[in-house]
A and B are shown apart, each in its own frame.
Chain A
């Protein structure tokens, strides 16, 4: 599904991602953990072509490293950005419609909308409300729902738990697991390493722009270094 080699991103000469290799198989859920400033968001933005990058990003056979961002979603690669990025002045339904912007199969879009609203019932109650008036958790649900409206094959999620109350975090992760069970490949970036590892099959640990560990989630959860640095030393 995705094969990344030697990915590099720099902000005006300062390197943020310094040669990252990643692989994601079909239907696989993989997480990318690391502390603040490790370069996780920069990596995802590069994958979603929101930042100029060097290296190889092979997505379903094509090297997309030079593609413009707007070409990706039509090919099934969707990003739920850090901080959600819902369109505050568009209604919930309009935000969802934006997710299907590239599609022209009207009937299918309508049935996907019903499916997304079924998966995220809070959105249904607030369908005509402006997205900017939703709570943080609802906005996160909306950002995920919006990405689902594109029928993604690979979903990139940047810190979906950020700023949410524990109960909401749990709900968001239940939704992520449902999506994964439907066969969507997922790359999950999280600060909440324990939770991320618990829903993924493999994990990458990032530090200062490099992947410093790559292993199965079970092994990472047991790894003493990971436990100490990212799991609060439990």
Chain B
């Protein structure tokens, strides 16, 4: 088996997931200048919601992909509602507060969500029923299964749809105008609060999709899974240039590739001293390097404080 090609495939799958989550961070940052650290938890809620639905339906004899689709159809609206509520309850009252206040609140929301989900779903690792075909197809000496193909394809289509929404529709134009100058946007008749809610809702829907993808692909879900995933997706958003949609997509894919290739070759590179269990190191190495060398990210224009 060709390791390089295999690691690239794995990296693209992982990167697609990071990109979807990173978009949630970057969209909210673009409009509010706020890092919604609770976003990782939204992804986790999506994964656990889908998991419960999938488990409940697993014995019904429905085809696997249909069951997973039902899981997704449950997780997406739950997360959309959750994103809406988080913004209303936790961030809106702090709209004009000093920047540290919403940041600390975000961490508070994360902890609350984790603990609530632990109460409901327990603290053990939950396995995602093996409903999807993992029969490998061979591709240029490596292997790829249907689920991996589906993840990459669905992520690509979803991101394409998001770009169309933001670039080509009336509400997308209003989102961009609001991101640039909310008070002038309101002069144009844009209800800025509604645009902000909409942004949270869309970001959360993408998060739910990513949550289902992660738990299906790695066959596991857990109340604390949002933390590391969220941090890595945030890293991806920073790598691409936070606030920039294309940047989040690029950053996500790149980070997935870096992590996958890095953990694939770290053993060889260090003469076996470090193994692939050091994979998380790469994301944070990337975060530190970006923050030191190019804080505005690959596609970001500026990180100056907005007036």
| Smallest beta-carbon distance A159→chain B, Å | 16
Contacts of A88 in B (CB 8 A): 180
Contacts of A150 in B (CB 8 A): 188-189
Measured CA separation A73–B174 after assembly (Å):
15
Contacts of B176 in A (CB 8 A): 87, 89-90, 94
| Smallest beta-carbon distance A68→chain B, Å | 7
Number of interface residues of B (CB under 8 A): 17
Q: Check B187–A81 contact: CB distance below 8 A.
A: yes
| Smallest beta-carbon distance A109→chain B, Å | 11
| Smallest beta-carbon distance A196→chain B, Å | 22
Q: Check B190–A87 contact: CB distance below 8 A.
A: no
Is A48's beta carbon under 8 Å from chain B? yes
Nearest CB to that of A78 among chain B residues?
B187
Tell which of B177, B184, B185, B192 has the most Cβ of chain A within 10 Å. Answer: B184
| Smallest beta-carbon distance A110→chain B, Å | 14
> Known contacts A90-B177, A94-B173: does B184 contact A101 (CB below 8 Å)?
no
Q: B168-198: contact bitstring with A at CB < 8 Å (1 yes, 0 no)?
A: 0010011011001101111111111000000
Contacts of B188 in A (CB 8 A): 70, 73, 98-99, 101-102, 146, 150
Contacts of A168 in B (CB 8 A): none
Q: Check B173–A90 contact: CB distance below 8 A.
A: yes
Other-chain residue from B170, B173, B174, B186 in contact with A69 (beta carbon distance below 8 A)? B186
Nearest CB to that of B194 among chain A residues?
A70
Q: Check A102–B189 contact: CB distance below 8 A.
A: yes
> Known contacts A94-B173, A101-B170: does B181 contact A69 (CB below 8 Å)?
no
Measured CA separation A146–B185 after assembly (Å):
12
Tell me the A145-195 residues at the B interface (CB within 8 Å): 146, 150
Q: Check B190–A101 contact: CB distance below 8 A.
A: yes
Tell which of A85, A102, A146 has the most Cβ of chain B within 10 Å. Answer: A85
**A-B interface contact total, Cβ < 8 Å:** 65
Other-chain residue from A71, A74, A81, A101 in contact with B174 (beta carbon distance below 8 A)? A101
| Smallest beta-carbon distance A112→chain B, Å | 15
Tell which of B173, B177, B184, B187 has the most Cβ of chain A within 10 Å. Answer: B187
Other-chain residue from B180, B189, B192 in contact with A73 (beta carbon distance below 8 A)? B189
Is A50's beta carbon under 8 Å from chain B? yes
| Smallest beta-carbon distance A2→chain B, Å | 17
Is A79's beta carbon under 8 Å from chain B? yes
Contacts of A97 in B (CB 8 A): 170, 173
Q: Check B180–A89 contact: CB distance below 8 A.
A: yes
Q: A217-232: contact bitstring with B at CB < 8 Å (1 yes, 0 no)?
A: 0000000000000000
Contacts of A98 in B (CB 8 A): 173-174, 177, 185, 188, 190
Other-chain residue from A69, A89, A94 in contact with B187 (beta carbon distance below 8 A)? A69
Nearest CB to that of A88 among chain B residues?
B180
| Smallest beta-carbon distance A224→chain B, Å | 38
Q: Check A70–B191 contact: CB distance below 8 A.
A: yes
Tell me the B148-180 residues at the A interface (CB within 8 Å): 170, 173-174, 176-177, 180
> Known contacts A70-B192, A87-B181: does B187 contact A50 (CB below 8 Å)?
yes
Measured CA separation A68–B185 after assembly (Å):
12
Measured CA separation A73–B188 after assembly (Å):
6
Nearest CB to that of A98 among chain B residues?
B188
Contacts of B186 in A (CB 8 A): 50, 68-70
| Smallest beta-carbon distance B214→chain A, Å | 33
Measured CA separation A215–B192 after assembly (Å):
39
| Smallest beta-carbon distance A113→chain B, Å | 15
Contacts of B183 in A (CB 8 A): 50, 69
Measured CA separation A15–B183 after assembly (Å):
22
Measured CA separation A81–B173 after assembly (Å):
20
Contacts of B170 in A (CB 8 A): 97, 101
Q: A61-86: contact bitstring with B at CB < 8 Å (1 yes, 0 no)?
A: 00000001111111000110100010
Measured CA separation A146–B173 after assembly (Å):
14
Contacts of B185 in A (CB 8 A): 87, 98
Contacts of B174 in A (CB 8 A): 98, 101
| Smallest beta-carbon distance B97→chain A, Å | 15
Q: Check A79–B180 contact: CB distance below 8 A.
A: no
Contacts of B180 in A (CB 8 A): 87-90
| Smallest beta-carbon distance A19→chain B, Å | 25
A-B contacts, 6 listed (Cβ < 8 Å): A48-B187, A70-B186, A70-B187, A70-B188, A87-B177, A88-B180
Rank and list the top 9 A-B pairs by shortest CB-CB distance, nearest first.
Answer: A102-B189, A69-B186, A85-B184, A73-B189, A70-B186, A98-B188, A101-B188, A101-B189, A70-B191
With A48-B187, A70-B186 known, 18 other A-B pairs at CB within 8 A are A69-B186, A70-B187, A70-B189, A70-B192, A71-B189, A72-B189, A73-B189, A74-B189, A79-B187, A81-B187, A85-B181, A87-B185, A89-B176, A90-B173, A97-B170, A98-B188, A99-B188, A150-B189
